[in-house]
Structure 1
Amino acid sequence: MHTATQVHPVSRWVIFILALGAGFSVAALYYAQPLLPLMGADLHLSIEGMGLVPTLTQAGYALGILFLLPLGDRHDRRTLILLKSAALALFLLGCSLTGSLHSLLMVSLLMGMAATMAQDIVPAAAILAPEGKQGKTVGTVMTGLLLGILLSRTVSGVVGDAFGWRVMYQLAAASIAMIGVLLWAVLPRFAAHTTLSYPALMRSMEHLWRRYPALRRAALAQGFLSVAFSAFWSTLAVMLLERFHLGSAVAGGYGIAGAAGALAAPLAGGLADKLGAGKVTQLGAVLVTVSFAMMFLMPALGVQGQLILIALSAIGFDLGLQSSLVAHQNLVYSLEPQARGRLNALLFTVIFIGMALGSALGSQLYTLAGWTGVVALATACGGIAFLIRLSESARVNRVELQSR
């Protein structure tokens, strides 16, 4: 078996399987959302109990990112992906067999941790990418990941209605088992980049955070964009119901606008290869800011116009957010190729903090200032992200001038 440190062409088939793996594994985080009423009726759960299921799954994912992703620098990534896919398939199957809230919550937490195989697949794609094509390759795999997020709720809603929630989890387990076998078959072995012990590996993350100002600015800029994104999506359904008397199906329909962002990810990666990742992050932040600011025009429009404007804004800011994410990952991976796992963990930890803050702040602001408050928060966060990217560009220019 050859190793990923050797120079060899990586086929489109391998990149396609990586994209598929990222999509199917991250989808495990979102299957539950449309199935909660069915789970609640079957297991006699309260609304609070149902709400804990996606919360525990997301918490498991956040813990997995922080504590499991750094292992990618210490061990063969191919082995880690196989182990996580086996664990995720077992936990999904276990979820379909649960009979109580406690076992459901425990399995949800573990499922979230195992679903971080999606974040092992993205650095693997960066390592396998041909010279000069890293951005495009990472972008293609991110498209799979983003489509997994986008389509998982739709698929689970349809399957749950037709066959019940347990069948959905059994099908999900089968899909992950299949993907795990495919990935094991097509991936090369990956050389370990460090011999640090696990505690030393975790401590080294603090040193990486301090050593690279570019990492801090990338994480903070993407973190602010995540606040904007999360504030919008966590309050949209409530706003549509209160203002337009539209149900959650319509709010879910707006999620399809996110497909534009998902499908644009490879384009953003290709642009990052040509123009430089820094430029693409600035363009992404501008697009997010302008897209949210457009919603200040809503009071001047009729009902139809307002609903169309929200859809256009969703397409615009999702495209900006995903372009910026792909470019930031590109930027961060290039800082220290031997530490990609830890760099990815740091980037996504800050992104998840942003997501959590966005949900909390968005709900608070919606209560205090209505939809205008949410739009103001999202626009301000997009603007802050742009300023962070500008300051990073100025810092890089200063360093280049000094080195001449």
Structure 2
Amino acid sequence: MEENRLSNAVLYLMAAGAGLVVANNYYNQPLLNLIAETFKVSESEVSNIPLFTQLGYAFGLLFIVPLGDKFPRKKMILIDFVAIITSLLTAAVAPSLLMLGIASFFIGFSSVVPQLFVPMAAQLADDKQRGRAIGIVMSGLLIGILGSRFLSGMIGEYFGWRIMYVIATGLMLIYWLLLKWKLPELQPDFKGSYTALMKSMARYFKTESDVRLAAVRGGLGFAGFSAFWTTLVFLMEESFNYGSGMAGAFGLLGIGGALAATWAGTLSDKINRNKLITMATLLMIGSWMIFGISGSSLWGLMLGVLLIDMGLQSLHITNQNIIFSKHPEARNRINTIYMVGYFIGGAAGTISGAYAWEMYGWTGVAGIGLIYSLLILVFHLAFKKPDFSKEV
């Protein structure tokens, strides 16, 4: 396969796959109350399930994704699917919360395939279309995150949470067949050892301030996002007397925000990226202000979901367009640095959101989310570099 030959069929296959695979990490969030009932545990204890999933994802990013610069991409992905399917089946039959937590860690660890697709799209697209290609794949990814919540919420309410994991296993088997048939192979650029590969990643982390700053911005944004989605199911039950189905339904609203990914990717090819990041951050700050006064208003929560998804996705796409513009031979390693920071932020948001809920209720969750978003603005304005590549 030659460089810069990205067909729409392959691009949309990767976008669909990004959504289907990343969804495995988020099926648990609307199901937390059902899982807590099954194992007779508290809300803070069951919040360890999304925490373990996010930590697993961070470890997968660190140890699996860099291998995309060393081994043929398609072969790697097809092998990884064996681990995804095994982990999902283990979760479906887990006899205890501990076993579900272990399975959730490995679901996260293995479900890093979307972070191999994003650099593939960036590598296959030409320079003028790179932002668009990244945006389309990331649209698929975020639609998967949000759609997974709706799907698991409804299935959990009517059939039980274990059935969701059985269905997820079937989806992965079908998609594995499609990948084997359609996904092109890309040969690696890195010829050294695994140790040298990891050392080179440390070198990029030390020398590339743009990548470090992007990881901080992305991690703080995802921290607030995770705090919201981890606690939303508890708010729905306590304040509105709704179950997992309604909490999952909020994911459908967020899909509107996910569609902003394509727009944001195209826009980041044309205008000043620093301004785009500032605008995205202000959207997230506004969403948390709305959440703060909407603990008893479904309409306010709906508006906040749209804004936070639009803001986070625009921030994320612009971050990735910035970091992928450098070192094309090391895009998987660069993406690993960024995404490890992103999901460490998600894990921190899950923990802090759960404790904020237990101690201060929804007001505490809104407060911690607002703090995370304000910190993005502070770090961005303090450490951003001028973007001379765009006139506007």
TM-score by length of 1: 0.84
Change (3 A) 1:82 1:295: closer
2:215 to 210, 219, 238: 219
Counterpart pick for 2:320 among 329, 339, 363: 329
The residue aligned with 2:10 is 14
Out of 315-324 and 53-62, give the one that drifted further.
53-62
Q: Which of residues 283, 297, 301 is equivalent to 1:287?
A: 283
Contact 1:126–1:134 (CA<8 Å) still a contact in 2? Answer: yes
Q: Hey, what does 1:47 align to over in structure 2?
A: 41
- Matches of 1:307 and 1:257, distance apart in 2: 12
What is the CA deviation profile of residues 145-182 of structure 1, one whole-angstrom value per residue up to 9, with x for unaligned ones? 11211122332344456666555434322322222232
Pick the aligned partner of 1:343 from 334, 352, 361: 334
Task: Tell me what 1:72 maps to.
Answer: 68
1:382 aligns with 2:373: yes
Matched, 1:396 2:392: no
Whether contact under 8 Å (1:60, 1:111) holds in the other structure is: yes
Q: What is the aligned partner in structure 2 of residue 362 from structure 1? A: 353
Q: Which blocks of at least 5 consecutive residues in structure 2 are unaligned?
A: none
Q: Does 1:256 align with 2:246?
A: no
Task: Give the whole-Å Cα distance in 2 for the aligned partners of 1:35 and 1:296.
Answer: 24
The CA deviation at 1:365 is 3.9
My pick for the range that moved more, 174-183 or 329-338, is 174-183
**Structure 1 position 183, deviation (Å):** 2.1
CA contact (8 A) 2:33 2:233 kept: no
Q: Cα–Cα, structure 1 residues 234 and 53, in superposed 2: closer, same or farther, change >3 Å? A: closer
Q: CA deviation at 1:328?
A: 0.6
| More deviation, 117-126/277-286 | 277-286
Residues 247 and 388 of structure 1: is their aligned pair in 2 closer, same or farther, counting only changes over 3 Å? same
| Aligned-partner SS, 2:269 | helix
| C-alpha contact (below 8 Å) 2:153/2:248 kept by paired residues | no
Q: Contact 1:81–1:121 (CA<8 Å) still a contact in 2?
A: no
Q: Is the 8 A contact 2:30 2:248 kept in 1?
A: no
- Equivalent position SS for 2:314: helix
Change over 3 Å in CA distance of 1:331–1:374 after alignment to 2: same
Percentage identity across paired residues of the two chains:
36
Give the AA of the match of 2:165. Answer: Y
Closer, same or farther in 2 for the Cα pair 1:356/1:132, shift >3 Å?
Answer: same
2:58/2:344 contact within 8 Å kept: no
* In structure 2, distance between residues paired with 1:28 and 1:332: 26
- How many residues align structurally? 387
Note if contact 2:68-2:116 (Cα within 8 Å) is conserved in structure 1.
yes
2:115 matched to which residue of 1?
119
Partner Cα separation in structure 2 for residue 242 and residue 68 of structure 1? 40
Residues 38-187 of structure 1 aligned to structure 2 (within 5 Å): 45-47=39-41, 53-96=49-92, 104-159=100-155, 167-187=163-183
Structure 1 CA distance for aligned equivalents of residues 246 and 164 of structure 2 = 23
DSSP-derived class of the 1:193 partner: coil
- Of residues 101-110 and 258-267 in structure 1, the stretch that sits farther from structure 2 once superposed is 101-110
- Give the match for residue 307 of structure 1: 298
Are residues 81 and 123 of structure 1, via their aligned partners in 2, closer, same or farther at CA, if it must alter by over 3 Å? Answer: same
Please provide the CA RMSD for this pair. Answer: 3.0
How far apart are 1:284 and its partner, in Å? 0.8
Return the offset for 1:386.
2.2
Between 317-326 and 85-94, the greater mean CA deviation after superposition: 85-94
* 5+ residue gaps, structure 1: none
Give the conservation status (yes or no) of the 8 Å contact 1:86–1:177: no
Q: Counterparts of 2:216 and 2:32 in 1: how far apart (Å)?
A: 33
Tell whether the 8 Å contact from 2:74 to 2:185 is kept in structure 1 after alignment: yes
AA in 2 matched with 1:338: E
Conserved? CA contact 1:26–1:118, under 8 Å: yes
